[in-house]
Structure 1
Amino acid sequence: MLQKISNSAFKGHGPIQVLYPGLSMADNDSGIGSIGRIDHAHFEGKFHIAMHPHINDEILSYFRTGKVRHLDSEGFSETIGGKRLMLMKAGRRFYHEEDIDGEAEAQEGLQIFIRPGEKDLEPKVLFEDLDELYSENEWRLLASPEPASELQFSSKTWIYDIKLHKEVVVPLPSLPAKDLTGLLYVFNGSVLVNQTVGLNKKEAIIFRQEELSIHGDTDTELVLFLTDETASIFKRGMYSGNQVH
């Protein structure tokens, strides 16, 4: 099964556009398994996002350009962006604010809202420093449920990225479990999947039990999400939860 999500599925017209990936599946859930919501942000200039709460969300901040200053109720004050990633595990309650400096360089990235494995876990903030900004033509594991991951989800969720060069073809990475559902997202560039489905920036494809051949039409940045839809999750997080009423 292959299901394309076009960039018209995003909601909002400001610097943050929101994708609820499950809405394209018409199955009465705004998410897909543990993948609750994906925000694609693009800021130019200085912005301040005031202190605000999250409840039962696990949020991976994946910024490719620009810098963001993060301050939270757990006492962390950190600058993230590029090679420094952050996972906020909100649990029962968590507050944070952000200062975005997009003057010298526009800030662009994803905030990825993952559903937790259970309700009201202890809040926690995790950071990871990448050796390189890009993983050239090889899949790189960013976060997973495995204890060996610096950024560890409480649900059965895996996230990878790759920078695929023009005319290079790659398959999916070796999957960490059987019967996973995947979402392949184009952050920048364009690809051709299985020689039939073209994807451009801010488009995605959902797949279940499919082998994929991914051809770079241009130098392209991809993010791959994998989820076990049979595993336990909490679907009523503040932002990651099911928004279909």
Structure 2
Amino acid sequence: MKTVLHPAAQRGHANHGWLDSYHSFSFANYYDPNKINFGVLRVLNDDTVSGGMGFGKHPHENMEIISIPLEGDLEHQDSMGNTTVIKSGDIQVMSAGTGVFHSEYNKNKDQPVKFLQIWVIPNQKNVTPRYDQISIKSEDYQNKLLQILSPNPDDEGVWIYQNAWFYMASLSKDKSLSYKIKKEANGIYLFVLEGQLTIVDNILNTRDAIGIWDNGEELEIKAKEDSKFLLMDIPMLLE
């Protein structure tokens, strides 16, 4: 088994006034040669956007982009004709493929919006751009893993062009869950949204993360206090 620990305090940080962003991997002006990616996981940004502010229209191509709102309302518009507002409980995915323009704004002027923006390198290039979103309920992942993303359009959650599976879970204090990596060539990246938990003898606190790979055994995740986390099962090799 191989592991890499990414403490919250060691993330990249950029405060632009209207945007307060923490980068788990090298992004924009933040560069760390040891944190370019974790397998096909290229970006994990923890963003807070001030009221009424946001990202103007900008392009993407050949990237799977997943947005997970944590608080507030995020308005999305894109060149495919989609105009939506996503909020806590929603999971949004966009396959940029041959190219797409989109914008993201805080829908409210009197409160911030907080969300995770995740980029996954796809296993197919130049696909037709696509958009999808789902809504989940907190009770659906209380003390269990809820699949929110997979490679299969007919499976639970949204889907992307990559052999990846994402799960959301809330664990009550002293509760535990076990997880086995889906494919031998995959690893997991576990990101703690809140609380404190243990995994492979590591104690993780809010916004800490750990990557684990080359492991064929079940992993036990135990909450030391009420906790919530995102688990990403992803290929370790770039295709």
The verdict on a shared fold, with TM-score over 0.5 as the criterion, is yes
- 1:19 matched residue in structure 2: 24
Give the equivalent residue in structure 1 for 2:231: 224
CA distance in 1, matches of 2:55, 2:186: 35
Give me the whole-angstrom Cα distance separating, in 2, the residues matched to 1:187 and 1:132. 13
Q: Does 1:95 align with 2:96?
A: no
1:189 corresponds to: 195
Q: What SS class does the counterpart of residue 85 from structure 1 fall into?
A: strand
In structure 2, relative to structure 1, the CA distance for the partners of 1:105 and 1:133 (3 Å cut) is farther
Partner of 1:30: 36
Q: Which residue among 143, 163, 176 is the counterpart of 2:149?
A: 143
Query: 2:57: which partner in 1?
Result: 51
Q: Which has the higher contact order (CA 8 A, sep 6+)?
A: 1
- The residue correspondences of 1:1-245 to structure 2 (distance < 5 A) are 1-14=2-15, 15-20=20-25, 26=34, 30-101=36-107, 105-132=111-138, 135-149=141-155, 150-172=157-179, 174-194=180-200, 196-208=201-213, 209=215, 210-230=217-237, 232=239
- Measure, in 1, the Cα distance between the counterparts of 2:172 and 2:160: 29
Query: CA separation of 1:198/1:65 partners in 2, compared to 1, >3 Å: closer, same or farther?
Result: same
Q: Report sequence identity in percent.
A: 21
State how far apart, in whole Å, the 2-side matches of 1:179 and 1:109 are.
29
Whether the aligned pair in 2 keeps the contact of 1:33 and 1:228 (CA below 8 Å) is: yes
Asked if 2 retains the 8 angstrom alpha-carbon contact of 1:189 and 1:201, the reply is yes
5+ residue gaps in structure 2?
none
Paired letter, 1:94: V
What displacement does 1:67 show?
Answer: 0.8
TM-score (norm: length of structure 1) = 0.84
Question: Aligned with 2:55: secondary structure?
Answer: strand
Query: Could you tell which deviates more after superposition, 175-184 or 155-164?
Result: 175-184
TM-score, normalised with respect to structure 2: 0.86
Query: 1:34–1:156: 8 Å Cα contact kept in structure 2?
Result: no
Q: Is the 8 A contact 1:43 1:102 kept in 2?
A: no
Structure 1 residues 24 and 202: CA distance shift in structure 2, 3 A: farther
Tell me which amino acid in the other structure corresponds to 2:205: N
Q: Which residue identity is paired with 2:21?
A: I
Cα distance between partner residues in 1 of 2:145 and 2:57: 35
Aligned-residue CA RMSD (Å): 2.3
Shift of 1:37: 1.0
Distance of 2:190 and 2:134 partners within structure 1: 22
